[in-house]
Amino acid sequence: MLENFQLGLQVFITLPNILAVFIGVTAGIFVGAIPGLTATMSVALLVPLTFTMSPVTGLAMLIGVYKGGIYGGSITAILINTPGTPAAAATALDGYPLAKKGKALKALKMAIYASVMADTFSDIVLILVATPLAIVALKLGPPELTTLLILALTIVGLVSGKSLVKGLLVASLGVLFSTVGMDFMTGTPRFTFDSLEMAKGFPLIPVLIGLFAIPEILVQVEEKVRGTETVVLRKSPREEDNRVNFQELRGCSKTIFRSAIVGTFIGAIPGIGSVISSFISYGMAKRGAKHPEEFGYGSLEGVAAAEAGNNAVCGATLIPLLTLGIPGDSVTAVMLGAFLIQGLVPGPELIPKHPDVIYGLFVALMVANIANFLIANVGIRFFARVASVSKTIVFPTVAILCVVGSYAVENSLFDVKSMLFFGIVGYFMRKFDFPIPPFLIAFILGPMVENPLRQSLMISAGLSIFTVGWRQIKGKASGP
Amino acid sequence: MEIQELMRYDASTGLSPSVFPKLSLFLIGLFSALLIFSGLRSKEAIAREDRETLKMGSGTRVVITLIILAAYIYLISILGYLVATPLALGLLMWYFGERRWLLILSVAILATTGISVFFRHVMYIILPEGILFP
């Protein structure tokens, strides 16, 4: 592990990589601060831009965007009570009252401290857990992988929606869409309508750009867009309201630590995500607080709990992705796409096969935390002003980026058309309250289940996958 | 029974390629039926659906935006990226409610050239040049 770390450091510490992380974090906070543009969406839009970069550089940039985006959402949550990203909704509960009392800068700084501390904790857990878990996962053959992935499919279907049936329905639909194209084992064309382009199947990156970015644009256009509220960051005349002093930070440290544990735990379970984590952390902080009556009326501890809760998810969601190849939420599903276009297949073999990339990525996570801290501190005023950029400019530009980004991956206009098609699908799913993440995750996992399932049925000559799986595990456990 | 026929195993090729599509279609049918059934049973859900259909009222704006985007994708292959993009971007900004002409013009031109330069010189991707201006 230590020598791997050394390797990771050697791979990562180059000027382009460090620059990529800083650019990523800046872009992430920038986009996160604009209400309506989520962290998932910004990562999805930037994935096509990373595939000409080296794997470490590209992934490091996306990690930066993710972390920055989750923090950036808190800026407008605190200043104008409009969470920039859904994950910051809990931050607004106490952040906005604090801003009204003239303590906006204090709240923003607390958000930075809590975010970065919890994020670092989560990353350390990821680094400690990932390699041992991957070693265990490596012992799994196709039968065990199938059962594991089917389990993942059901978890995703169960947890992601308010309605169980809707989640499962959407997941089945995702599997159906994933079967489009040439079958990989027999070469049978499925749902291709005799089109050569359809034989490739639907391309992943355009699909996720369509699902996450287009619905957002369409929802915005439904009503005539009004210019965005002007966001002003007022500095308090009392200097102590503009910063977080050591006593306050120490007072909140217990809350931050608790939220970091909650967020890490939730992040490691596929399918829950940062929104729920921030609310659970907030609720727990309220119950454990000395002054629970202050919560909702401008408690600094509330801001710390919510922000620590949502940022602590960042590192931990990578645990199931890197070790088992299971994306835990929509952002990691998008990250999975980023791994795939680099030719890296997330799963048990990823860490043993590419220790340089993965440990480089681990170092990138840490550097991203430092970058997040520095850039957020220096740029507070600038990012607050960004939030007032007019929506009439932001959304049309994003629409153009969707088209160009989808085109860029394979220089194919079919990809762009797929993007628009899935954008419409995503819009209707949003309108009728169907959750999008189960669809995307099933779309990605579909072939991953089908492939080993059919392989293991061939290995066992049609016997149940369970018997074979059980024998293999037993055989390996008692073997040398 | 349909499901038995569906899972029938063929020793030479393994599971038939049609199993997954059929299985997912079967599940979609099953869950849709469940959804309709539970929707009909719960009065509260019916009331909620009503409100949701009301929210759909502004569909024309969505359709027009989609038409602009589709036209843009079509025009890229004919006029090329450099001509189609400022047109589409300007039109979209105007449709989104922006009325400051100078701003529309400058954003359309700056964003188009910015993206083009980035793709050509950083990512080495040449965006479609169209057939009219070879």
Provide the token pair at A208: 């996720």
- Give the model's pLDDT for residue A475: 46
Please give the share of chain A, as a percent, with pLDDT higher than 90: 23
Q: Which of A465, A476, A478, A422 is nearest to A151 (CA)?
A: A465
User: A189 — phi, psi (to 5°)?
Assistant: -75, 135
What secondary structure does DSSP assign to A148-198, as a single string? Answer: HHHHHHHHHHHHS-SSHHHHHHHHHHHHHHHT-EE-TTT--EES-TT-TTG
pLDDT at A9 over 70: yes
As a whole-number percent, the residues of chain A with pLDDT over 70 amount to: 91
Of B21, B66, B115, which has the smallest distance from its Cβ to A404's Cβ?
A: B115
- For residue A181, the cross-strand partners are A190
The answer to whether the beta carbons of residues A78 and A303 sit under 8 Å apart is yes
Burial of A324 per CB tally in 10 Å (0-12, 13-18, 19+)? buried
Higher pLDDT: A306 or A134? It is: A306
Which residue matches tokens 């007032």? A388
Which of A186, A191, A407 lies at the smallest CB-CB distance from B127? A407
- Which is it for strands A181-182 and A189-190: parallel, antiparallel or unpaired? antiparallel
pLDDT above 90: residue B86: yes
Q: Give the position of tokens 């159906």.
A: A176
Residues ≥6 apart with Cβ < 8 Å to B125? A52, A408, A411, B119
Which residues share a beta bridge with A190? A181
- What distance in Å separates the CA atoms of residue A86 and residue A316, rounded to the nearest whole number? 19
Q: How far apart are CA A383 and CA A391, in angstroms?
A: 16
The reported pLDDT for the residue numbered A220 is 82
Q: Distance between CA B89 and CA A399 in Å, rounded? A: 8
Choose the weakest-confidence range: A49-63, A252-266, A319-333, B73-87. Answer: A319-333
Query: Which residues of chain A neighbour B111 with C-beta distances below 8 Å?
Result: 397, 400
- Does A470 score more than 70 pLDDT? no
Give the whole-angstrom CA distance, residue A417 versus residue A112: 40
Contact A67, A369 (CB under 8 A): yes
The more confidently predicted of residues B49 and A350 is A350
CA B5 vs CA A59, B8, B10, B15: distances in Å: 45, 5, 11, 12
Axis crossing angle, helix B59-79 with helix A204-222, rounded to the nearest 10: 130
Model confidence at B11: pLDDT above 80: no
Mean pLDDT confidence for A147-151: 75
In terms of Cα–Cα distance, which of A361, A356, A355, A336 is closest to A346?
A: A336
Distance CA A331, CA A311 (A): 13
Convert A177-213 to b/e letters by CB count within 10 Å (16 or more is b). bbbbbebeeeeebbebeeeebbebbbbbbbbbbbbbb
Confidence class for position A479, pLDDT limits 50, 70, 90: very low
Confidence of residue A476 (pLDDT cuts 50, 70, 90): very low
Confidence of residue A82 (pLDDT cuts 50, 70, 90): confident
User: Residue A179 has which token pair?
Assistant: 């079967």
| Of the partner residues B24, B58, B103, the one whose CB lies closest to the CB of residue A222 | B58
Residue B132, phi then psi, degrees to nearest 5: -80, -35
Residue whose token pair is 């501390």 = A117
B27, B79, B107: which to substitute to probe chain A, counting the most A Cβ within 10 Å? B27
pLDDT digits (tens, 9 = 90+) for A282-301: 988 888 888 888 888 888 89
pLDDT over threshold 50, residue A461: yes
Chain B touched by A246 (CB under 8 Å): no
Residue A18's Cβ-count burial label (10 Å; 0-12, 13-18, 19+) is middle
Please list every residue in chain B whose beta carbon sits closer than 8 Å to the beta carbon of residue A172. 24, 27-28, 31
Report residue A432 as tokens: 């009728």
At A309 the pLDDT is 92
Token pair listed for A145: 């992988």
Residues 188-227 of A with CB under 8 A from B: 188, 190-191, 217-218, 220-227
Q: Do A363 and A13 meet the contact criterion of CB atoms below 8 Å apart?
A: yes
* Angle, CA of A286, A288 and A291, to the nearest 5°: 65
Read off the pLDDT of each residue in A190-208 and give the average, rounded to a whole number: 85
Quick one: pLDDT band at residue B73, thresholds 50, 70, 90?
very high
**For residue B108, pLDDT beyond 80:** yes
Alpha helices in A289-412 (DSSP H): 300-316, 318-324, 330-341, 350-353, 355-386, 391-410
Report d(CA A94, CA A297) in Å as an integer.
6
First to last CA, chain B: 60
Rounded Cα gap, residues B120 and B122, in angstroms: 6
- The two tokens of residue A219 are 């929802």
Contact B24 A172 (CB under 8 A): yes
> How big is the CA angle at B116 (ends B111 and B121), to the nearest 5 degrees?
130
The secondary structure of residue B15, as a DSSP letter, is E
Interface of A with B in 32-71 (CB under 8 A): 49, 52
How many Å is the Cα radius of gyration of chain B? 25
- Count of CA atoms in the C-beta half-sphere (13 A) of A451: 11
For residue A473, what pLDDT is reported? 46
CB–CB contact A403 B11 (8 Å): no
Amino acid A389 reads: V
Residue A403 near chain B (CB below 8 Å): yes
Q: Cβ B24–A217 below 8 Å, yes or no?
A: no
Of residues A162 and A266, the one with the higher pLDDT is A266
Q: How far is B29 from chain A (nearest CA, A)?
A: 8
Name which of A419, A36, A417 is nearest A221 in CA terms.
A36
pLDDT at A83: 80
Give A414-455 pLDDT, tens digit per residue.
999 999 999 999 999 988 888 888 888 888 888 877 877 777
- Size of the A and B interface in Cβ pairs below 8 Å: 146
**Lowest model confidence (mean pLDDT) among A118-127, A161-170, B45-54:** B45-54
